[in-house]
Amino acid sequence: MSSAYLRPAIAAVAIAVATALAVYPMLDAGRLGPLIDALGAVALLSLLFPLLWRGRGTWLALFLLGAEYVVAESSGHVAAVSVVAYAAGLIGLCELLFWLAELPAAASIDTTAIGRRLLLLALTSVAAASLALVALLATSVRLGSALAALVLGALAAAALLTIPLLLVRQRRRNQ
């Protein structure tokens, strides 16, 4: 398949996902409505950067959409469970934008590669939704003792530290 067809298709899906993510917090914004609307509009506009300049500025769109959701969620007008879908949408959007950035303007794309990418996208979104749900459930657990809270906190911190550890190990392996 030619990248001339695939690129517009990916861009269209990315725009659709970004629009959904930007519009959802606006639906029931309440008194913080103008701020949320402004954040959503800027987030959608910032999407032009990664679409037109090969992935540059993806961070801006991601952080703006995240900020918009946080503002809407903190004002209490968005259901907490929505974070599951929102997290999946955000990571899906990022994956799409990075895929678009990697695709050359004129190239022949193997269908196997496209299939694998779509599978990766689906798996990432499902995993993201599941993890967001788990995180939500885990944070809503009321622990009886301070010791249990300490153990759980330590485990969570250890899990987080895995990331830099993996990075360090990878660098050593390369050297």
Partner 1 sequence: MSRSPKLVLYAAFAAVSFIAALALGRPELAGLGAPFALVLVLGLSLPPPAKVETSVRLSRERVLEGDEIEAELFLSSPETCETQFELVLPRGIEPTDDPVTFVLGLARGRRRALTVRLKCEHWGAYRLGELRLRIGDRARLRLADQRIGGTAVLRVYPSRERLQSLIKPLETQPFAGNRVSRAKAEGIEFADIRPYVRGDRVRRLNWRVSSRGQTLYVNQQHPERNADVILFLDSFAEAQRENEGTLDLAVRAAATLADHYLAVQDRVGVVGFGGIVKWLTPASGTLQSYRIAEALLETEVNFSYVWKRIDVLPARSLTPQALVIALSPLLDERGMYALVDLRRRGFDLAIVDVSPIPFASSSEGGTPDPQALRLWRLWRETLHLRYQELGVAVAEWTGSESLANVVEEVRAFRRFAR
Which residues contact partner 1 by CB under 8 A? Answer: 2-3, 55, 58-59, 62-63, 66, 69-70, 73-74, 80, 83-84, 86-88, 90-91, 94, 98, 101-104, 106-110, 112-113, 115-117, 120, 124, 127-129, 131-136, 138-140, 159-160, 162-163, 166-167, 170, 173-174
As measured in angstroms, the least distance from the Cβ of 157 to partner 1 is 10
19 vs 75, which CB is nearer to partner 1?
A: 75
CA distance 59 to 49: 10
CA within 13 Å, CB half, 145: 3
As measured in angstroms, the least distance from the Cβ of 107 to partner 1 is 4
As measured in angstroms, the least distance from the Cβ of 150 to partner 1 is 15
Residue burial 75-100, b: 16+ Cβ < 10 Å; e: rest:
bebbeeebbbbbbbbbbbbbbbbebb
As measured in angstroms, the least distance from the Cβ of 148 to partner 1 is 17
44 vs 68, which CB is nearer to partner 1?
A: 68
* SS3 label, residue 29: coil
Backbone angles phi, psi at 2, to 5 degrees: -80, 145
CA within 13 Å, CB half, 129: 11
